[in-house]
Amino acid sequence: MEIQEHRCDSLSETESTGVGHSGPLSGPLVTNKRNNSSERSARFKSSDQEECYVEITLDVRDDTVLVHNIRGGDSETAMLASKLERRASSLSLGSQLSFRLRQVSQELKRMTSSKSFKRVDRTKSGAARALKGLKFMTKNVGSEGWSEIETRFDELAVDGTLPKLRFAQCIGMDESSEFAGELFDALARRRGITAGCVSKDELREFWEQISDISFDARLQTFFDMVDKNADGRITEEEVKEIISLSACANRLSQIQERVEEYAALIMEELDPDNIGYIELYNLEMLLLQGPTQSTNLVTDSGIQSQLLSQKLVPTKEHNPIRRLYKRLAYFMEDNWKRIWVIALWILICLSLFTWKFIQYKHRAVFDVMGYCVSIAKGGAETLKFNMALILLPVCRNTITWLRSKTKLGIIVPFDDNINFHKVIAFGIIVGVGLHAGSHLTCDFPKLLHSTDDEYDPMKPFFGNKRPDNYWWFVKGTEGWTGVVMVALMAVAYTLAQPWFRRNRLNLPKTLKRLTGFNAFWYSHHLFVIVYILFIIHGYFLYLSKNWDKKTTWMYLAVPILLYACERLIRAFRSGYKTVRILKVAVYPGNVLALHMSTPQGFKYTSGQYIYVNCSAISPFQWHPFSITSAPGDDYLSIHIRTLGDWTSQLKSIFSKVCQPPSSEQSGLLRADIAPGNVKLRMPRLLIDGPYGAPAQDYKEYEVLLLVGLGIGATPLISIVKDVLTNIKQQKETEDHQGNMVENNGDNKDNKRKSFVTKRAYFYWITREQGSFEWFRGVMDEVAENDKDGVIELHNYCTSVYEEGDARSALITMLQSLNHAKNGVDIVSGTRVKTHFARPNWRNVFKHVAVKHTNQRVGVFYCGAHGLVGELKRLSQDFSRKTETKFDFHKENF
């Protein structure tokens, strides 16, 4: 670009003024002044055609700039030239004119340089999505508007200027301070600002540029971040720096380790002639032609999707009675299994209480102790019932058999067995309160203060001499057994609470040792002592001397016998189910994977779990883990995340026998044990199971929606593998039967039970990039063998900023390039492309609903409790308002 000025007066003097530039600028800036005005001619030269110029003449008056004349170019050039116009402003004319000259220079250069290249069609769907991306201002960054940023400036400014170190906090980009620092440098570089701080007016300019809604402006800003020497060209070294910066901002450590490889990939794609640099139009082409799949799912049928959206629009019911009725009807529909079980339990408890209350109301003790004794005995009767009932929900073998071999699962919510166990525990607390509270605060005081005539009927029960004090009641068998029982129950109940069991409380170190899963496990096994004391307490009664009136043992006999058989079966079964370790792997995210030999006769269903015991840690402790292998595999595998004392010790023990993996293997440490290898001495493991879980019901559904959060993907991975295996086997069977029919005309002897599931959608959400190594082999196996697209895999990495955010723009570009060239995702290291941030669950359900109208979809979730509410609500909402029914199943840990 050449800029020339001609003075019109008789005194000719030439002044040379430097202009900061970015692009092919040449020639001096000559100023001819007349009455505080001048005429400037800017000549823009194409980098490809030496003889092609665009000359723009500017009329500069004081602090106003107007376009006087344009020679050459077209309508687009005229539009670009209009950017040079500037009305009166409080900002300096020189900086504003220089800024706009650089803008127009770079844009004209891009236009002229790209004439020999194929322009990107921005009307295509992929380009249209990309045009909405590359945002520096998102809903979490700078969405408040300039007023909020101005307020922050006033709070953070030092001597009227904002330091660079506080720029990230000012614009709301606190989590990406390094990225914000590079953005600051790029914005300052374009304006010739060399100081490490900016004024409020300069910050306003920054904000206007990064909040510009036009794609070209955002693209230019991003280009400037990469182009650190402002020469309009990006070298491979600059590409490496921006890849490293983006990977750091998104916490992708594995990409940082391979910066050189990925930078070479970008240069190879955008610089095929090996010139040594890339330009703005190259970056635009990569952005607009890169990703072809959006993170937010778009359903196939537009009309059907639109109709579905209309149905899902929430409608307000103005009649309060109808609104209440509708809510009650929905509640009953979703919880009728739980309701009838709880209602039956409450009815039995009330009946027992009432029966005993009335019984003692007609006895002689009522005249002395009154209603207190009736309440105490009524509470005791419910306590007997609940102490017997609380054992049944934890009889795991019985429940697994009932849910697998009978149809009781239709009316009994076996998935809620632990919740019911907790409800019964609350009933026991109520019973203890009524029984012990009435005795200690009402019965015994009345007896101690009774007259001789009133006490006379009590002599057969309490002796000829009236008790003198409370100690008489406590020292007796009935008293001390009751006190000890209450104390042990209180300890077990307290340590079973999530705050103590999961170490959520910030306790002193000495007290923290008394909490955690180990404390919960051991304290819960105090129940053996409690039940012994309970039977003794129920035999030595004050007011019942006949054995047939002492009913405690009658309540407990069957449940204790059943539970004892359960424990004997577990002990016997685990005794011969010693497994041989085949492979050990330690993965990022504190995950230990164990591949074991399958014990003889061990049969399981995907979704079930086993208990594991390691005698090197404790011969008594058994811990549950979901099975990650499929029934068709020749091994049994589990993946264990170290979250507590026992799992940490287990990982430490196995890590000692592991070695760093080879380049072709995954994981941080590995140990592959070949048959006959006796050099590696592995810890001895025992397993017990399998046991039923909600996920095992997947075979009842034609369509599955599987959602795993972090390590919660373990049971779902087994289901994914089993679905793929069964569909492959079913297809082979059908082909075989077809051949038999052609050859023999009969296939009666070759019938095989049909596998119900026809389609599965798997969503795995994890926070860390390294987590994808846990199941990399499974992902690649599904991607390779699922030729018919039966299983739709979706991996989500929440540490990466959402699609459209400038901080993840380069990661998106790099991901598309590497997947297109090598078929491998750069984030997960698998063939499955990773999505960024969190899924839009409403769009996910909508996608499934449109695909599978008039079908029942099984929604299976495993993970932390935080996502349960949203998935359950969406399942209910879509089931009520669409033709697709979603049955929600959850498994928390």
Q: Are residues 638 and 686 in the same domain?
A: yes
Identify the pLDDT of residue 439: 83
Proportion of the chain above pLDDT 90, given as a percent: 13
Q: Which of the residue ranges 117-121, 385-389, 647-651 has the most confident prediction, judged by mean pLDDT? A: 385-389
Identify the pLDDT of residue 424: 95
Confidence of residue 891 (pLDDT cuts 50, 70, 90): confident
Lowest mean pLDDT among 16-25, 198-207, 631-640, 778-787: 16-25
> In angstroms, rounded to a whole number, what is the distance separating the alpha carbons of residues 256 and 252?
7
Identify the pLDDT of residue 558: 92
Q: Is residue 615 part of a domain?
A: yes
Q: Is residue 25 part of a domain?
A: no
Q: Is residue 378 part of a domain?
A: yes
pLDDT at 405 over 50: yes
CATH of the domain at 150: 1.10.238.10
3-state secondary structure 306-369: HHHHHHCCCCCCCCHHHHHHHHHHHHHHHHHHHHHHHHHHHHHHHHHHHHHHHHHHCCCHHHHH
Owning domain of residue 544: 352-571
pLDDT at 28 over 50: no
Q: Are residues 541 and 653 in the same domain?
A: no
User: In this predicted model, what pLDDT tens digit does every residue of 457-500 receive, in sequence order?
Assistant: 777 777 777 777 777 777 888 888 988 999 999 999 988 888 88
Q: Is residue 441 part of a domain?
A: yes
364: phi then psi, degrees, rounded to nearest 5: -65, -30
Total domains present in the chain: 4
Edge to edge, the sheet with strand 759-766 lists: 834-836, 791-797, 759-766, 703-709, 856-863, 885-892
User: In this predicted model, what pLDDT tens digit does every residue of 514-547 receive, in sequence order?
Assistant: 777 778 888 888 899 999 999 998 888 777 767 6
> 226 near 239, Cβ under 8 Å?
yes
Q: Give the DSSP H or E segment for 860.
A: strand 856-863
Identify the pLDDT of residue 588: 85
The stretch 687-710 carries a mean pLDDT of 87
Bridge partners of 587? 591
The stretch 317-342 carries a mean pLDDT of 82
Confidence of residue 316 (pLDDT cuts 50, 70, 90): low
Q: Is residue 677 part of a domain?
A: no
Pick the residue with more confidence: 406 or 139? 406
The stretch 206-224 carries a mean pLDDT of 80
DSSP annotation of 449 reads T
The stretch 4-30 carries a mean pLDDT of 37
CATH of the domain at 589: 2.40.30.10
Q: Are residues 877 and 730 in the same domain?
A: yes
Q: Is 665 exposed, middle or buried (0-12, 13-18, 19+ CB in 10 A)?
A: exposed
Q: Which of 544, 571, 598 is the last residue of a domain?
A: 571
The stretch 640-644 carries a mean pLDDT of 84
Q: Would you state the structure tokens that stand for residue 159, as one six-digit string?
A: 């001597």
Dihedral (CA of 131, 134, 137, 140) sign: positive
pLDDT, the chain, mean: 77
Q: Are residues 768 and 643 in the same domain?
A: no
Identify the pLDDT of residue 331: 81
Identify the pLDDT of residue 39: 53
Identify the pLDDT of residue 99: 56
Q: Are residues 725 and 591 in the same domain?
A: no
User: In this predicted model, what pLDDT tens digit does every residue of 61-75 receive, in sequence order?
Assistant: 555 656 556 666 555
Confidence of residue 94 (pLDDT cuts 50, 70, 90): low
pLDDT at 237 over 90: no
Q: Are residues 212 and 277 in the same domain?
A: yes
Q: Would you state the structure tokens that stand for residue 381, as one six-digit string?
A: 């009767």
Q: Are residues 247 and 170 in the same domain?
A: yes
Q: Are residues 707 and 837 in the same domain?
A: yes
Q: Would you state the structure tokens that stand for residue 522, as one six-digit string?
A: 């051991």
Strands (E) across 246-314 are located at: none
> 653 near 683, Cβ under 8 Å?
yes
> 716 near 708, Cβ under 8 Å?
yes
Dihedral (CA of 387, 389, 394, 396) sign: positive
Pick the residue with more confidence: 463 or 752? 463
Q: Is residue 12 part of a domain?
A: no
User: In this predicted model, what pLDDT tens digit does every residue of 249-277 receive, in sequence order?
Assistant: 888 888 888 888 888 888 888 878 888 88
Confidence of residue 10 (pLDDT cuts 50, 70, 90): very low
Confidence of residue 314 (pLDDT cuts 50, 70, 90): low
Confidence of residue 33 (pLDDT cuts 50, 70, 90): very low
Proportion of the chain above pLDDT 70, given as a percent: 76
Dihedral (CA of 224, 230, 234, 239) sign: negative
User: In this predicted model, what pLDDT tens digit does every residue of 331-341 receive, in sequence order?
Assistant: 888 788 899 99
pLDDT at 216 over 80: no
Identify the pLDDT of residue 8: 37
Q: Is residue 340 part of a domain?
A: no
Q: Which amino acid is at 287?
A: L
pLDDT at 773 over 90: no
Identify the pLDDT of residue 562: 93
Q: Are residues 504 and 593 in the same domain?
A: no
Q: Which of 248, 274, 293 is the last residue of a domain?
A: 293
Confidence of residue 36 (pLDDT cuts 50, 70, 90): very low
> In angstroms, rounded to a whole number, what is the distance separating the alpha carbons of residues 632 and 605?
10
Q: Is residue 321 part of a domain?
A: no
> 702 near 590, Cβ under 8 Å?
no
Q: Are residues 772 and 883 in the same domain?
A: yes
Dihedral (CA of 839, 845, 850, 852) sign: positive
Pick the residue with more confidence: 418 or 85? 418
User: In this predicted model, what pLDDT tens digit does every residue of 704-733 receive, in sequence order?
Assistant: 999 999 888 898 999 998 888 887 777 777
Q: Work out the number of other CB atoms within 10 angstroms of the CB of residue 250.
A: 23
The stretch 823-849 carries a mean pLDDT of 87
Identify the pLDDT of residue 297: 44
Confidence of residue 103 (pLDDT cuts 50, 70, 90): low
What DSSP string runs through 19-63?
A: ---SSS--S--B---BTTEEEEEEEEE-SS-TT-EEEEEEEEETT
Q: What is the pTM of this model?
A: 0.73
Lowest mean pLDDT among 311-325, 395-409, 846-860: 311-325
Q: Are residues 645 and 508 in the same domain?
A: no
Confidence of residue 124 (pLDDT cuts 50, 70, 90): low
Pick the residue with more confidence: 8 or 543? 543
Q: Are residues 582 and 550 in the same domain?
A: no
Cα 1 to Cα 23, 216, 547, distances in angstroms: 9, 21, 111
